[in-house]
Amino acid sequence: MLAAKQCRNMHALPCSLPAEVLGYIFEQLAVVDPLKAYPREWGWARVTHVCQRFRAVSLEHGNLWSNLSVHSDSALWDLSIFRSRKALLSIRGYAGHPAYMSARYPKQILPHLARIRVLDVIQIPTRVVAAHDVHPWQPILESKAPELRELKLSMSESESGGPTLGSEFLQTASKLITLHLFGIQMSWNIRAPINLRSLDLDDPGSTNFNLTDILQSLQCLPMLEFLHLRYAIPDDSADECNTHVSLPRLRIISLEDSDKCALSLWSSLTLTSACSVYLDIDVLEPQDDVRLRALVQAHLTLKGIPIYPYICVGDESGDDEVVRLSAHSAYDTVGQTARKNREHAYAIDQSPLLSLSFQAMGRTQVLLPLLALFPSTPVETAVVSLHKYTLCDLLQRILRQFSSLKHLEVIGMEDDDDDQDGAQYFCWLFANRLSPPSPKAVSKNGVEHYLPHLHSLSLSNFMFTHHSDRTGRNLHEDVTRAFERRKAAGLRNPVLKIENSDLKDSWIRAWEEWVTVERDGQSCPVMDESVPSDEGAGESEDEEAEESE
């Protein structure tokens, strides 16, 4: 490089750069502008038409042509294969169209499987015309792939008749690190250690293997760091299993299934305190509540377990039957853990967390014994999604369980102006239960009843113009009354943060007499003062004196 710099200056032509420099430039260009078969885009390869020098350099670097896309353009495929020389291949693409070409892709891939490093193909047709009732992709899953590092295959749908990944494939793919399969069965018959680090098995369909087979195979994955099983645990796995497996390097385990079989698998694994656990179950019966609590308790007593100062409760989809609870050791994972579906965002190096979601069939009170497992003192932040009466009725007990709360975020029903039951309930609760009616109430009931350490209160999706059937006032007036009471009783008033809610300047001015108000300007437009508030004459439950509890 020094010699090249001495004999050339800024006025030299680019084609005069050394071959290794041009090769590096082309490699970077190939990342940002790849060669695409569909639609036909030459991408970085357009440099081959600039001059003979560029063309010669690009043809000398086989790795520039090693990224292939699955498509019916066989001419471009053959060209890339030829020019890639002996470089390891990365093959990615969408195999869903055209359907009549679906059998051609595996035939193109199979001859080069020995030097494929990455194979990532989605939307593989499940229903195809196959010779001898063998799926066209089955031969690939039965061949040797000694250089394969990453295998991601996704069928167009999950049903019987798709390909199956055999244990022999895994044993011969000694460099395989990442294995993600959707709609493809996996043979849980691994009997020798392999170096797999990430395993994602999504809806493989029926299987002849049982829980013991799964555990024995997991025992042969000592390097495993990420495990996601979705509808992949056999139905008969709900029975007790005497096999226990230690996965010391596991950092993420995500189990999604229809019933308690996920509990059976979790109970059979020995995890470390650094492992994040995601449990998403369709339905749990009442008899499963005790077992779930025991598993959570056992996890929280692991050696070196971190404290969980951030607690999230409630389902943002508004489903009254779903119980959602997540505990976080760091705040940065709070926004990555889904509170309305199962689409969590994972990172191997993330801080540990525990996330539970299941259909409780109206038994949302199961939350209370689960929350009781977390010591109240370390919990400083709570995020609560309020939509239905069932969880609302538990809110007072939930919040008072964590008397050291410094930050409280309450989320109402999104995009539903008519359903403000949760918002109504919280405003009533904040004004009449979490704010003392007088200094005497503090002495009588104890200061811990009123969240004395609260620094910030965040309200989202609140329709403050709505009339409260509980207090006879509008919601913005209930919030003001709560601040008045807390100030009169000598308690700290939190900073009020408002998001995704319409506001009026008059409300903000009224609140600012007692607290600091922080408004998200983008999601909280200021309404005209002439916009009317809801009228109503509901029976007031506003209490001047609070009963002892």
Q: What pLDDT digit, counting tens, does each position of 57-114 carry?
A: 888 888 888 888 876 567 778 888 899 989 999 998 888 766 556 678 888 899 999 9
Q: In this structure, is residue 233 part of a structural domain? A: no
Other beta carbons less than 10 A from residue 339's beta carbon: 21
Confidence of residue 33 (pLDDT cuts 50, 70, 90): confident
Question: What is residue 468's predicted lDDT score, i.e. its pLDDT?
Answer: 87
Q: In this structure, is residue 24 part of a structural domain? A: yes
Q: What is the pLDDT of residues 173-199, one digit of tens each?
A: 999 999 999 999 999 999 899 999 999
Token match 């061949």: residue?
A: 143
Report CA torsion sign: 353, 314, 473, 541: negative
Is pLDDT at 10 greater than 90 in this prediction? no
Q: In this structure, is residue 419 part of a structural domain? A: no
How far, in Å, are 77, 131, 179, 480, 499 from residue 73 at the CA level?
6, 23, 27, 67, 50
> Under 8 Å CB-to-CB from 254, ≥6 apart: which residues?
227, 228, 229, 230, 278, 280, 344, 346
Number of domains making up the chain? 1
Q: What is the pLDDT of residues 431-484, one digit of tens each?
A: 999 999 888 999 898 998 999 999 999 999 999 988 888 888 999 999 999 999
Is residue 410 within 8 Å of 426, Cβ to Cβ? Answer: yes
Q: What is the pLDDT of residues 355-376, one digit of tens each?
A: 999 987 778 888 999 999 998 8
Q: In this structure, is residue 14 part of a structural domain? A: yes
Q: In this structure, is residue 241 part of a structural domain? A: no
Is pLDDT at 417 greater than 70 in this prediction? no
Alpha carbon distance 152, 131 (integer Å):
24
Strand partners, 279: 255, 356
Q: In this structure, is residue 295 part of a structural domain? A: no
Confidence of residue 316 (pLDDT cuts 50, 70, 90): confident
Global model pTM greater than 0.95: no
Q: In this structure, is residue 331 part of a structural domain? A: no
Question: What is residue 512's predicted lDDT score, i.e. its pLDDT?
Answer: 95
Question: What is residue 27's predicted lDDT score, i.e. its pLDDT?
Answer: 86
Q: In this structure, is residue 16 part of a structural domain? A: yes
H-helix or E-strand spanning residue 481:
helix 475-488
Is pLDDT at 226 greater than 70 in this prediction? yes
DSSP character string of 86-106: TPPEEEEEE--SSGGGTTHHH
What is the average pLDDT across 126-149?
A: 84
Q: Which domain holds residue 75?
A: 1-87
